[in-house]
Structure 1
Amino acid sequence: MKIRTHIIIIICTTLMTVGCSQNHKVTKQTPELAKAEEVMFDHPDSALHILESMPIPSARKDKENHALWCLLTSQAKVKLIMKIPSDSLVKIAYDYYKSTDNARRKAMSALYMGDINYELGNIEEAMQYYLEGKTEVEKTEDYKTGYLIMSSLGKLYLYRRLNAYALEACTKAYDYAVKDSNKRYQMGALQYLARCYCILNELPKAIETYQKCSDIAVELGLNNKAYYYDIQTEIALVYKNSSQFLQSLEILKSFPVKFQSSSLI
């Protein structure tokens, strides 16, 4: 009787161990997906080449890697400004991660659902996805994704003249860019933050913010590029709109001829 009881205990313990190990099973990310994600921000073209060259993980047998493949492929195409006819691919990732506790992947999939729907003209849907992404990314330390979500949300608010919301979103985008130590992101955030101040008629703040943006452009070696002169033109416009015509004229006349706006001068 004791032997039988001992055997039953061993069997039960074994079954419990197997069950626990199955519940905690983690799918290993494939080397191709890891490499594609590693190069994504600096070389999205290389990331897309890796993703399109690799065997696509099975949607039935390897759902986690399949979802990640869908997410990264969508991310690469958005970064390369490719025309994407529908959100069906990234929605596979979005639906998969929605039922997990992976806040970073949830935020990323919501971001690209938002981006693709925005390009498709589904503005209300895009806003809802960005707001979902905003909630999820706040649970992470993924400052790049945080910047991209808040920047997209800020632009959407700005173009719809939702001034207070735009200012809040653009300020948060700048905060994420600073935390990420990403000068290009900081530059982009400052440009839109300055535009918010223009709409709010806070012109001295707008000029100060544009100047910070311009300083970063110089730091990055963009002082002879079109982007730098676009920023300077926006500063000149602020001066013009605040009736400081001489300051505006001095800025515009300092440009190389090919960047001068004759009509504005």
Structure 2
Amino acid sequence: MNTNNPHTYQQIARAIEHLTTHYREQPSLGELAEKANLSEFHFQRLFTEWAGVSPKKFSQYLTLEHAKSRLRNGAPLADAADAAGLSGTGRLHDLFVTIEGITPGQFKQGGSGLVLTYGIFASPFGTYLLGAINDKIALLHFLNEGDVPEIILTTAWPEASLRPDPVTLQPLTDQIFNPIAVEHEGSKPVLSVLMRGSAFQLKVWEALLKIPEGGLASYDQIAHAIGQPTASRAVGTAIGSNPVGYLIPCHRVIKKTGLFGGYRWGVERKQAMLGWEAARVEP
């Protein structure tokens, strides 16, 4: 069963939405299966293959108590990882993600003649649009019904010429959602991400890489990590403008109360990511 099938994610997302909005009533397996338009047997099997745990166990990862515990027990972000961003122990199989940041001024000086290669791919969290410049990931945008990829690409990189070429990008997608053994002589593969933003935005996005898989951080914690403890509101704005979803893990930032808050690509997708990651790091 292909859990990267967009239809699979849509079925899972409907169940997660019902699970999180009715968790106090402890919805039954039958209720969740009905939301996914599946029999109980097939829903249980599909969900467990997708998440790695049962729906009941998954729901525990989405509770307020679990979120608060994660916030309390998380290591200080300044000590959690190198600035280069070791991104988790399970999701990327110890892949490194590095940010190459450019400010608007720097981009203006050398931004002409860029070619943005792009393609549309499937993931455990639905269909997404991937764009790359010179083998550096420049955009990862989850698609919703009605989205026009060309508009998304030109809005993010208006100076670049567009070139559809999913075949060329396939090795990058394999490393994001279907990590493969591409190590050579003990070295770890590296994913380079090209981020265009202000110096403040780049600092925030780099701080996100220090949140380990299965971990959570609050907006206040990110503000402290970048040395601007009173800038939590500006931090939230920068996080919301992150152009590279999932790899730059803005989904791991929640409110200090333990509430998940919003997400650029939909709250249900954020909940799906957090539960999916928690299932991979919990003993």
TM-score tier after normalising by the smaller chain length: under 0.3
More helix by share: 1
TM-score of the superposed pair, with normalisation by structure 2: 0.23
More strand by share: 2
- Which protein is bigger by CA-based radius of gyration? 1
Q: Which has the higher contact order (CA 8 A, sep 6+)?
A: 2
